[in-house]
């Protein structure tokens, strides 16, 4: 396998990408050389930016050994990511980077560089708001899921997707990493023994564990649609008026509403951080917190509205008029997605992966409050979710726990 480097990338592209034009000025950089705000965090692949007068591209190469970490990961992930992106581009081109070229043999592909937009996580960390983010993400998820489900595709197409996106290796990372023994890592996060005991208490509570296993069961067995499966805020680029999703190597046929819950988990973390991180003024804190809740609300509402519209317009003949089924699917999503949000918020709060959403809080006492509040919200959401009729109930639960927590301060 050819290893792409900053030195050989231009000759490589000239040879392999027919319309690559380096006649003007050309710059090459490797992702990871810059700051997390520019380059994201936690990535495992080898990624290069190539800027020319004719266009800006990103080349992503998967190697067996990740950029960080010692364990080899399946190489096929790069091909699956390309295929997932291609499908998503066919459904929601406005939210997907354009694909230029693929080299299967060398486990790489080239796509449009979307870094004219910004990585959402690091902007939220700086209290920057993207007004339409929730609506766009909800629409993107609902369309991708509906048009890759059996409610739209022929049975054969749907089964082919299931076979193609088995993605056993990558799924395993989430099945175990997100839903299982994260706390065994016993990370020292400087939040004190009290926090660790509190987190352990939740982790090993048999009632909480049962809920975790129930969600994991759905994650492992409900092959509803092609999901992204790692849709956190570092994998979303946005500006005032645009939004693009990247990084699809975890993609597989999973449950409706998983991505919705996953992203909500990050937004809940941001909300808890916003309760305790420093702001220039209390008015700005209030505004930002309200923005986060409004984003969760529009995310869910847009998902539900879009899914229903897609169903009404494009469901296969046998499902036309079967509005009851569509309702029942969305009722299930309303109960499961908050559960997935809990899983994400919980594993990022208690796991070993760094979590910039909370790491921006320098004062350890405030950070401990933010993360403890997060875990308390997780507890409530996990058990209350069965009563949720709409996203308003989810938001009310978050507000209720925050209010109760404040009383203890
Ligand atoms: P990994 O699968 O290793 O997590 P990602 O696909 O998330 O890799 O990419 C890691 C980083 O590379 C991103 O955070 C971003 O900074 C940059 N990147 C990846 N794809 C693009 C793209 N299409 N446009 C701009 N930047 C990108
Ligand atoms: Mg990534």
How many residues in total does the chain contain? Answer: 409
Q: How far is the CA of 63 from the centre of ligand 2 (A)?
A: 15
| Segments of 85-213 assigned E as strands | 99-103, 108-112, 118-119
User: Cα(282) to centroid of ligand 1, in Å?
Assistant: 34
Closest CA to 150 of 301, 253, 260, 304: 253
- In the prediction, which pLDDT does 141 show? 98
What residues have their beta carbon closer than 5 A to ion ligand 2? Answer: 43, 247
Please give the helix or strand (H or E) that residue 244 lies within, else none.
strand 243-245
pLDDT single digits (tens) 243-276: 999 999 999 999 999 999 999 999 999 999 999 9
Residue pair 217/224 in contact (Cβ under 8 Å)? The answer is no
- pLDDT tens per residue across span 192-243: 889 999 999 998 899 999 999 999 999 999 999 999 999 999 999 999 999 9
Ligand 1 pocket residues where CB is under 6 Å:
31, 39-40, 43-45, 47, 58, 60, 97, 111-115, 119, 234-235, 246-247, 249
Q: Is the pTM of this model over 0.85?
A: yes
Least distant ligand from the CA of 45: 1
Closest CA relative to residue 234, chosen from 120, 315, 339 = 120
Mean of the pLDDT values across residues 67-77? 81
How many angstroms separate the alpha carbon of residue 290 from the centre of ligand 2?
Answer: 27
Tell me what the mean pLDDT of segment 284-306 comes to.
Answer: 98
Dist. CA 198 → ligand 1 center (Å): 35
Both tokens assigned to 297: 């609300």
Q: What is the pLDDT of residue 190?
A: 82
pLDDT digits (tens, 9 = 90+) for 331-377: 999 999 999 999 999 999 988 888 999 999 999 999 999 999 999 99
Read off the tokens for 92: 């929601």
Confidence band for 67, pLDDT divided at 50, 70 and 90: confident
The chain-wide mean pLDDT, for the chain, equals 95
Q: Which is the closest atom of ligand 1 to the Cα of 41?
A: 14
Res 43 pLDDT > 90: no
In a 13 Å sphere around the CA of 71, the CA atoms on its Cβ side amount to 5
Longest CA pairwise span in the chain (Å): 66
Q: Which domains does the chain have, with CATH numbers?
A: 9-112 (3.30.200.20), 118-407 (3.90.1200.10)
CA-based Rg of the chain, rounded to a whole angstrom? Answer: 21
């Amino acid at each position: 396998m050819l290893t792409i480097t900053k030195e050989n990338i231009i000759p490589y592209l000239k040879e392999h990408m027919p319309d690559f034009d380096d006649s003007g000025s050309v710059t090459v950089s490797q992702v990871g050389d810059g700051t997390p705000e520019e380059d994201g965090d936690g990535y495992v692949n080898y990624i290069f930016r190539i800027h020319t007068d004719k266009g800006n591209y990103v080349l992503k190469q998967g190697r067996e050994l990740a950029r960080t970490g010692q364990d080899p990961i399946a190489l096929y992930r790069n091909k699956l990511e390309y295929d997932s992106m291609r499908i998503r581009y066919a459904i929601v081109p406005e939210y997907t980077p354009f694909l230029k070229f693929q080299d299967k043999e060398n486990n790489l592909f080239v796509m449009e560089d979307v870094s004219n937009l910004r990585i959402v996580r690091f902007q939220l960390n700086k209290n920057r708001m993207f007004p339409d983010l929730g609506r766009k993400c909800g629409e993107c998820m609902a369309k991708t899921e509906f048009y890759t489900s059996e409610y739209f595709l022929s049975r054969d197409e749907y089964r082919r997707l299931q076979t193609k996106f088995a993605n056993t290796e990558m799924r395993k990372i989430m099945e175990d990493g997100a839903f299982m023994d994260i706390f065994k890592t016993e990370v020292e996060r400087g939040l004190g023994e009290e926090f660790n005991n509190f987190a352990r208490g939740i982790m090993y509570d048999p009632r909480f564990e049962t809920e975790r296993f129930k969600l994991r069961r759905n994650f492992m067995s409900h092959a509803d649609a092609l999901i992204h499966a790692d849709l956190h805020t570092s994998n979303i680029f946005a500006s005032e008026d645009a939004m693009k999703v990247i990084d699809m190597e975890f993609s597989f046929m999973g449950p409706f509403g998983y991505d919705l819950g996953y992203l909500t988990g990050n937004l809940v973390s941001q909300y808890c951080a916003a309760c305790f991180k420093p702001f220039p003024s209390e008015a700005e804190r209030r505004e930002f917190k309200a923005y986060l809740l409004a984003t969760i609300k529009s995310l869910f509402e847009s998902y539900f509205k879009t899914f229903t519209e897609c169903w009404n317009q494009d469901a296969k003949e046998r499902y036309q008029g079967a509005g009851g089924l569509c309702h029942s699917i969305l009722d299930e999503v309303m109960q499961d997605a908050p559960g997935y949000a809990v899983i994400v918020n919980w594993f990022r709060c208690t796991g070993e992966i760094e979590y910039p959403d909370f790491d921006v809080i320098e004062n350890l006492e405030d950070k401990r409050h933010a993360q403890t509040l997060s875990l308390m919200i997780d507890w409530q959401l996990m058990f209350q979710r069965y009563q949720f009729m709409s996203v308003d109930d989810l938001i009310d639960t978050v507000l209720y726990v925050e209010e109760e927590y404040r009383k203890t301060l």
